Structure 1
Amino acid sequence: MAALLDGSPALVGRTRDLETLTDLLDKRPSVALVAGEAGVGKTRLARELLRRSEFRADNLLLGACRPAHDPFPYGPVLDALRRTGGLDPLGPLSSVAGVLRPLLPEIADALPACPEPLPDRAAERHRQFRAIRELLAACGRALLVIDDLQWADPLTREVLRFVLADPPERLGVLLTYTDTELPPGGPLESPARIAVGVPTVRLRLRPLGAREVHTLTTSFLKKSTVDIEFTRKLHDRTAGIPFVIEETLRALTVSGAPVTDGAGGRMLDELAVPAPLREVMHARMAELPEPAAALARAAAVLGTPAEAGTIGALCGLRTGRLCAALTAAVRGGVLHEVIPDRYGFRHGFARAAVYESISPPEREQLHNKAIDILGTGENPPLAQLARHARAAGHLPEWLRYAEAAVERAVGEGQTSAALDVLQELLDGPLGAPDAERFAVRLSEIALRAHRPELIGTLRGVVDRGELGRIARGRIRLNLGLLLARLPGRLLRARAQVEQAVAELADRPDLAVRGYNLLAIPLEGLTPLVWHEHWMSEVDAVFPEIEDVELRLALRADRIASRAHIGDGTAWQEFERLPDTAPTAGERVQLARLWCNLADAQSWIGRLDRAAELLAGGTRMAEAAGALFVGSTAGGSRLRLDWVTGDWNGLAERAESTQQRYSDIGPVVADAQLVRGALAAVRGEFDAAQRLLRATGLAKPQGAVLPVALSAAGMLTRVLLATEDVRGAAEAAEHGLRLARRKGVWVWAAELLPAAARAYALAGRSPEAVAAVTEFAAGIAGLDAPFAHTSLVAARAVLLEAQAEHERAAEAFDEAGRGYLALPMPYPAAVSAEEAACCRLAAGVQGGVDGLRAAAEAYARLGAARDAGRCRYALRELGAWRPSRRGRRGYGDQLSPREREVAAMLACGRTNREIAEGLFLSPRTVEQHVTRVLRKLGLRSRTEVGKQAPQKAS
């Protein structure tokens, strides 16, 4: 059994809140009020705050309120003041402070003698308030922290209001409270009148988002990677509340659930309510009056947020009694207004804890009554009715409601909802025919969604061996299609599909979808001729297919696949298709076609088509509930933005997309390619090599080949930039070997010019000529403008290597015009620079102006290193042309060059690296860094990462 963990070693999602509190409470006097729901991390934030260096010299006075029927007056304040006994010395105290001797016997020796009690109780209480404030003032620079103020007694609230109205000048006050459990009037029962001029902040901590839950989980479990689907489900199940997340992870750790792989989500579904969460909910329920408790039990049976009237009808409460019960349940922290006018539980475990506390007879009665209440009306909630029917033991009604719920959800594009109901069906007491039918349906609908955890469900169904041959073949086929989406699973996927095709040998109308997968050429090193065999198998069966949706799916893949390999007839076939469809299934296939064809058009260089298709296909996918299609489109969007020069924020978007879709192989590959390309442009060559190699170059058997070949071209250029000519030639040779083995040369458009240059510089000119000749033959007659333009650029490289500089310059100009027409501005700028260098080598006019134009083109894109290289060459030529109006004055704003330096500082680059990246002298960089820090008002270069993006713009 795994040992219990102590909790997350890192504070997640609260950096800004922590900085805000630190900045405020470092001033004195000051007041901070931190609110949030139970478990959201208020106490943890306060604990982290007290560890900050800014408060190490402070006298820390800590108190916490406790839930109690008869709380001790001033309890948390007195707990805090007892700590003053360790202070030496205390500041001066008047005789008034003596009234605290009976309340603080631990520090009585430090207090004056106790004065005679006053006859008036109000006057005596006021004197106690004055004494408490005086003792706080005597503590010097101090920080008073009162936690869980919602449980404070009336006198504690009153004395805090007194102190806040005129706080001691060296006191900071931090109050935390659960705002969902407050008494009328707020945390202090009436508005706190904080003294005028005292810095004050009110924060409300929000639950963690999905990405923050992922970070918290990896930190808590001390794992480098955790299944992202698991953390998404964890976020949904816990509502992002840190306490609930950590208790859930503790329970899973004890159970031994493998949360680092796809099984974690399933274990989460089956996990019992962790004991601390159950105890919290039981305690809250025990505090409620019976009508409110009955309302909570009814809400637990309903299971989903509902209107107050619906919950009340289930437990027999109406009008005034219902309102009072609902108010008590909400104020008691049991029920929440989840969405406007809909009440339920904050997270799944809270609901489960209450549901488990209901006796079986009461549960059955409530479920039966729920069927009666929800079953009326024109559009009853079928999925809910199915769950109530099953819980009440009405199995025929359960099947009828559930099947209807699935088909309704599919028709409305609610793919995930349909899959949830199907999973519940397969987990239930089904007969063999029903189990077989629903398992097949689950496997079909799963193809529309991004739900990797379903692979385990389907594999379990197939392995149980209870299915007929045809059903098993259909499910296995869909399992293979799902596996093909995951990184590194291509060979397993094809094995499943080929086995399914054998099982469906006498049903080619069903097996054709397997033929179709095997016909798609994008991944792996299987030669194109093998895929073309399966394409012909699809074409042979296609006329016999009657299913309209399947026919459209097959046409979609045929069009996209043929477009990918440069077959111009694919676009003509696409133009003959309608852009709308009558059924939800057909609309899913249309969305898939548009997005996949957009990807193909982007690879061959039809970028205008790609952009239009991607925008339309994404809208179609969202409307049709084609969740997986919408996910994969994200990778195509990243790459399209890269090639068209839309680089603003692209690195961050690529990293975010890679994290979000870490289990979709093609999306990960696209994101790594774009991140590697941007790193190369920035001159971060080590990072660029790491990212580009990770795209599949090392394991091409399962790689997305267009991505891997493009990465090979970029890697070749990176190695040339580091003057590793031998390594560049090896990278180029590896890429060309992959293209040759696959037999799809249009995908090597990024690679060819770089390969030609690497071979030429390595003294392997015959191989350069052979590669260009082979590429030219491979793309002849194909619809691939990117490849044809790259062929022009590669031939220009050959001319340059033969010292035919004028002809090379003209060829580079032609390539640049071709790239701009696509439009692909970065290779266009590269071609412009190379043309200029050729003219300079030939000693003809136009070289200097061309180099200057290339520098400006690079600068417009944000390619600072490339622009710097051109400017450096101009300076070396003595051709740098300053403005006739003299240097522009930027005042306190950063100049363009200073923005480039600031951006590189923000990335952690050293002065030497900046000098190399911008082709400047170290002394010049030193001056730029000094000006950047001065203009941004910073003390060190490490602070630029926080400030530069805002001020540099």
Structure 2
Amino acid sequence: MTVGVGPRFVGREAEVAALVGEIGDGSALVVVEGEPGIGKSRLVRHVLGEAVGRTVLWCTAPALSEPFPLGPVVDGIRRLSPDRVPDGLSPMAGALRPLFPEWARLLPPPLDPLETAGATRHRLFRALGELLDRLAVDVLVLEDAHWADTTTLELLLTLVASGGGNRSLVVTYRPAEVAEAPALLRLTSRSPAGMRLVRIALGPLSVRETGQLVGSMFDGEQVSADFAAFLRERTDGVPLAVEECVRLLADRRDVVRRGGRWIRRVLGDLEVPATVRDSVLERLTRIPGVGRRLLETAAVLGMPADAAMLAEVAGISRAEAGEGLAVALSAGLLQESGAGRFVFRHGLDAQAVGESMPVSRRRLLHARATDVWARRAPDALERLAHHSREAGELGAWCRYAEAGADVALESGDDRNAVGLLLQLLDTEVDTAPDAVHGPAERRRRLATKLGEAVFYGGAALGDIVDTAVEAIHRVIADPRVGKADGGELRLLLGRMLWRAGRRRAAFTEFEATVPDLGHRPDLAGITMCSLAMPVVPGWPATRHLGWLSRAEEHAARADSTHLRVAVGTARAATLLLLGDASAWASIGALHRPTHTGPRDMSVHATGLLNVAAAALPWGRYEETRGLLRAAAALIPDAEHHRVAEGSRLIEATLAWHTGAWDGLAPAMRRLADAETTEVHDALVARLLAGLVRGASEAGLENETELRTVARQLSVLGIAEPVALLPWAFLGRRALQDGDAQRALDVTAPAAEAVAAKGVWLWFADLAPLHAEALARSGRRAEAEAFVGAFTRAVEPSLAPVAAGAVHLCGAVLAEHDEDVAGAAELYRSAASVWAGIPRPYDELLALEGVGRCLLADGRRADGRRADGLGVLRDVRTRLTALGAARDGDRIARVLREQGEDVVRTWRRGRRGYGDALSPREREVLVLVARGLTNREAAEELFLSPRTVGRHLESAMRKLHVTTRTAAATTAMEAGLLATGSDSASDGTTH
């Protein structure tokens, strides 16, 4: 995997505005300060790199031990004008011959020597000033001024003293190294005469800006918030460190793409990029004796420490520590963090120093740190584990690391717990100090803890789940681990895989573990309940029912309240999913808890949510909401956070079906993008967001997203009613496009899977589409046979969704047979069923069928045509109000074809603003000024990149500029982007 050529400029909006405004308004001395890699040069080059109508002289001071006098300015002039000497130079320019020998034949004759060096320097400065005037230099930039020679800095002092010569000066430097350049202090500490002094101090990037920077390295694609926060923490938001670390992670393939975004694997320490390492070590070489020892000690400690701790670990006296700290602080690597506590400014700097030490010295310092922490804070397990491991004290590390993993598990830090436990399992020791039962017991205990950590934190652990699965499989295969322990580990492994969305693999582990759980009848019964749920492809209904029967027999023999509760809810959920209406008779009793313990209540709440999800295909939504309320009533007492979150997707699915679409798509996108969301839940959330956006927007992007999500659900082995929703949406779109074969390609595989499993109720949304696709493809007899089989398999009288689907199936067949009057009545019956559930989107699509049939009937009776037009007008209005703008537009086209005068709905088109910027154009320019690409701006504004490009082109034309940067700069200078209200919408509905 490779990253892009380079990151784009992000953030720094205030600094950009200040630099643009000051340089564009007469002469100014702009001083940009910041630590190495913070982005000083990038800021200046971003603003001046595309400067229109300005001549910029770029001068950079190299880090030479003996810099050449005026070298940065001379080199900059050579690059600016390599082949010609400007006309009109006075005899004073003869002083430039020693600096520009290649121009000797073109410069005036040499001047007579002067008596003093000061007079000679003054004459040379006058000559250089004249040369800058003749070259029409508007802005002189000196980068890395802390490395500049004294003569160069004195030239700038001379230019400033003369008011800048109607030009601006921009100076970038590192504050920590100014003390070594007194001339630079004189330049930056005084307000110049006739010039404005502007100071810009660059700080670190925020988490959001870090994410934008990283995303730009992956062609502008999105990165996860957790990945951005991880990099921001480890690099302290220094752009250069972020950039270099991302390149290293990409080279190591520690960044992976999942769910349309880039995320990270579980990582320990970042490798120090070479550019960061070399910069730190260059400064380290200039720090003598005790100061360097303290820096090495601070690097090993890795956290704020007082002088006493630093002295004790370094093995020096308190007096020596005081002197050394003063030296270390002056180097800019160390900083005071709180009263009397010191730490490296950046973690990567500390890592670079630590890695530069000989191994023997580093281990000695870690051993001392272990002893100091053990005395000062024996409960600082993370510190003790880290230092003991680095010191090579394996036994102590095992003890501290496992204790640290226990604390991490209790506090919900699953990522850290998993990392520690994987390290412990990979460390072979004959016996650990607290493992009184020997190595086998130690490995079983660690594997159990690992499984629990992955189970509770698996959604955010990425591909580390595979590593954990392999580790636990190795423990199960260990002959020293008994059958009973192996069975419990395999059950835990199945639960891990379930949480990771891998249903087929999970069920394989569940089946394999039941024979090994004879010693734990409660676990065996719960596992049977899981196997009874018909949510895995390839298993027929009889196989699930067999496991349900075994679970009921097992619960009858076991004395376990929570097992009886689990079996009761599993029975209801299983039968509902299989379309067996007898389950409804027992659901009322499930609402009434007969237990009080937190564990039983948690099991009951989870079971009720499973029943609520299984009830969704029936369309009995009030009863489904009752199950959700009953589950919610148990959650506070059970203190089971996952149960509380478990109802969110059921409620969101209800919102899709019942037309409560307002805010649904962005809420589901946020849920899908959250690192803690399980794989299955993230896919369903993406599915629901795609359905809403697909109904409201034209284009292939949402259909591609829905197809991708549907395939990912299939690959993971997730078979459930909601997984068929994208195929229903795609099949409907294909039929609306007149492509019956494309619709069959969508519906036929789903029909075969449903028939094989015997869960016909799940197919209610797809059945009318499949029948229509068959009929349109010339397979009318097959369509009729399919409708008959579907009608016999479901119970329309008890399942409103099935009733609506049966009416629609009859309608599409009647319409295909040109019985438009009969079809209209069947469509109307279906719409009535959908209205009663309610499912307004399906109701309106059925009413569209009514209007279409009435129009067709109108060819024979004019009165029916008027009725049909009236129905379609009403349907279009209601679809638009619902949010299904795409469907509303389709019906509008039909009405126009019928001669109706339909007002076109204006959505994001260009209005008549003349030469003034429209509100949308100003919004685009604001984002361009922030450094966003067209794609990123499109995501911010919910537009397509092409639309953003059109707005940007229009704005550039109105502003009479030819580049993006010039457009943003010109608009900013004109005050067109001054306030949020200026760039807001004009109140027109978009």
Q: TM-score normalised to the size of structure 2?
A: 0.71
Does residue 382 of structure 1 match 2:385? no
Is contact 1:383-1:402 (8 Å) kept? yes
Cross-structure match for 1:363: 366
In the TM superposition, residue 372 of structure 1 has moved relative to its aligned partner by: 1.6
Q: 1:276-321 CA distances to partner (integer Å, 9 max, x unpaired)?
A: 5444333333344666545544443334567888768866999999
Compute the RMSD of aligned alpha carbons: 6.1
Secondary structure (helix, strand or coil) at the match of 2:58 reads strand
Say if 1:246 and 1:930 are closer, same or farther in 2 by CA, change over 3 A. Answer: closer
Bigger drift between 872-881 and 93-102 goes to 93-102
**Counterpart in 2 of 1:723?**
738
1:456 to 445, 467, 486: 467
Matched-pair contact (CA < 8 Å) for 1:505–1:511: yes
Whether contact under 8 Å (2:276, 2:348) holds in the other structure is yes
Aligned to 2:481: 468
Matches within 5 A, 1:485-496: 485=499, 489-496=502-509
> 1:334 maps to which residue?
333
CA distance in 2, matches of 1:307, 1:551: 59
Match of 2:453 in 1: 445
CA contact (8 A) 1:739 1:747 kept: yes
Match of 1:301, as an amino acid? V
Superposed CA offset, 1:306-356 (max 9, x none)? 788876886699999989977865664534689999965566544433334
Contact 1:84 1:107 in 2 (8 A): no
Cα 1:552–1:66 shift into 2, 3 Å: farther
**In structure 2, what is the equivalent of residue 922 of structure 1?**
none
Distance 1:152 1:595 in 2: 69
Gaps of 5+ in 2: 432-438, 858-862, 905-909, 936-946, 969-976, 978-982
Q: Which residue of 2 aligns with 1:518?
A: 531
Go from structure 1 to structure 2 and tell me whether the alpha carbon gap of 1:539 and 1:279 turns closer, same or farther (over 3 Å shift). farther
Alpha-carbon separation, structure 2, partners of 1:411 and 1:59:
62
The one-letter amino acid paired with 1:719 is A
The corresponding residue for 1:414 is: 413
- Residue number in structure 2 paired with 1:301: 300
Q: What residue is the counterpart of 2:444 in the other structure? A: 436
Q: Structure 1's 411 and 506: CA in aligned 2 closer, same or farther, altered over 3 A?
A: closer
Label 1:240 to 1:780 Cα distance change in 2 as closer, same or farther (>3 A).
farther
- Other structure's SS at 1:86 match: coil
CA contact (8 A) 1:217 1:226 kept: no
User: Do the aligned partners of residues 307 and 428 (structure 1) sit closer, same or farther apart at CA in structure 2, a change above 3 Å counting?
Assistant: farther
Match of 1:682 in 2: 697
Q: Does 1:39 align with 2:54?
A: no
The residue aligned with 1:405 is 404
CA contact (8 A) 1:42 1:205 kept: no
In structure 2, what residue type is equivalent to 1:529? T
Q: Is the 8 A contact 1:642 1:674 kept in 2?
A: no
Q: 2:871 aligns with which of 850, 853, 872?
A: 850
The DSSP-based 3-state class of the residue aligned with 1:695 is helix
Pick from 475, 481, 491 the counterpart of residue 495 of structure 2: 481
Number of equivalent positions? 898
Q: Which residue of 1 aligns with 2:941?
A: none
Measure how far apart 1:58 and its partner are. Answer: 7.2
CA distance in 2 between counterparts of 1:809 and 1:473 reads: 55
Deviation at 1:867, TM superposition (A): 2.0
> In 1, distance between residues paired with 2:697 and 2:577?
30
Is 1:827 matched with 2:835?
no
State the TM-score, normalized to the length of structure 1.
0.74
Matches within 5 A, 1:614-653: 642-643=656-657, 644-646=659-661, 650=665
Cα offset, 1:468, TM superposition: 0.6
Q: Write the distance in 1 (CA, Å) between the matches of 2:796 and 2:571.
A: 19
SS of 2:538's partner is: coil
Cα distance change on mapping 1:668 and 1:289 into 2, 3 Å: farther
Alpha-carbon spacing, 1:225–1:814, altered in 2? closer, same or farther (3 Å): closer
User: What is the letter of the counterpart of residue 37 of structure 2?
Assistant: G
> What CA distance in whole angstroms lies between the structure 1 residues aligned with 2:640 and 2:534?
27
Q: Name the CA distance, whole Å, in 2 between partners of 1:937 and 1:539.
A: 75
Distance verdict in 2 for CA 1:33–1:390, change over 3 Å: same
Query: C-alpha separation between the residues in 2 aligned to 1:512 and 1:581?
Result: 19
Task: Report SS of the residue matched to 1:90.
Answer: coil
Cα deviations by residue, 1:451-483 (Å, 9 ceiling, x for unpaired): 130421340352364351444443344334333
Give the Cα separation in 1 of the matches to 2:387 and 2:952.
69
Change (3 A) 1:116 1:16: same
C-alpha offsets along residues 707-732 of structure 1, whole Å, 9 cap, x if unaligned?
A: 44222211211111211123324533
Whether the aligned pair in 2 keeps the contact of 1:522 and 1:704 (CA below 8 Å) is yes
Specify which of 75, 88, 100 is matched with residue 84 of structure 2. 88
Which aligned pairs between 1:874-913 and structure 2 lie closer than 5 A? 874-880=895-901, 892=913
Match of 2:547 among 534, 537, 555: 534
CA contact (8 A) 1:448 1:627 kept: no
Contact 1:716 1:731 in 2 (8 A): yes
Q: Return the alpha-carbon distance in structure 1 between the equivalents of residues 650 and 554 of structure 2.
A: 31
The percent of aligned pairs where both chains have the same amino acid is 27
Contact 2:38/2:203, CA 8 A, preserved across alignment:
no
Letter in 2 for 1:482: M
- For 1:166-200, what per-residue CA distance to the aligned partner results, in whole angstroms no more than 9, with x for missing partners? 88789676655557776699996437769779999
Gap regions ≥5 residues in structure 1: 884-888, 910-925
Please tell me whether the aligned partners of residues 34 and 203 of structure 1 are also in contact (alpha carbons under 8 angstroms).
Answer: yes
Conservation of the 8 A alpha-carbon contact between 2:300 and 2:362:
no
Displacement after TM superposition at 1:814 (Å) = 1.0
Match of 2:826 among 808, 811, 816: 808
CA contact (8 A) 1:717 1:728 kept: yes
Alignment of 1:786-805 (within 5 A): 786=801, 789-791=804-806, 793-794=808-809, 797=812, 802-803=819-820, 804=822
- Write the deviation string for residues 805-836 of structure 1: whole angstroms up to 9, x where unpaired: 552353244145236x3xx5433432343343
> Does residue 77 in structure 1 map to residue 82 in structure 2?
no
Superposition pairs for residues 260-339 of structure 1, below 5 Å? Answer: 269=268, 273=272, 276-288=275-287, 293-304=292-303, 332-335=331-334
The aligned amino acid for 1:372 is R
Alpha-carbon distance in 1 for matches of 2:647, 2:165: 59
Equivalences for residues 478-877 of structure 1 within 5 A: 478-485=492-499, 489-504=502-517, 507-512=520-525, 514-542=527-555, 567-568=583-584, 572=588, 575-576=591-592, 642-643=656-657, 644-646=659-661, 650=665, 654=669, 657=672, 664=679, 667-668=682-683, 670-672=685-687, 674-675=689-690, 678-679=693-694, 681-685=696-700, 688=703, 691-692=706-707, 695-696=710-711, 702-762=717-777, 764=779, 767-768=782-783, 770-780=785-795, 786=801, 789-791=804-806, 793-794=808-809, 797=812, 802-803=819-820, 804=822, 807-808=825-826, 810-818=828-836, 821=838, 824-841=839-856, 843-844=863-864, 846-877=867-898
Distance in 1 between residues matched to 2:300 and 2:787, nearest whole Å: 70
CA distance change for structure 1 residues 847 and 94 in 2, over 3 Å: closer, same or farther?
same
Larger radius of gyration: 2
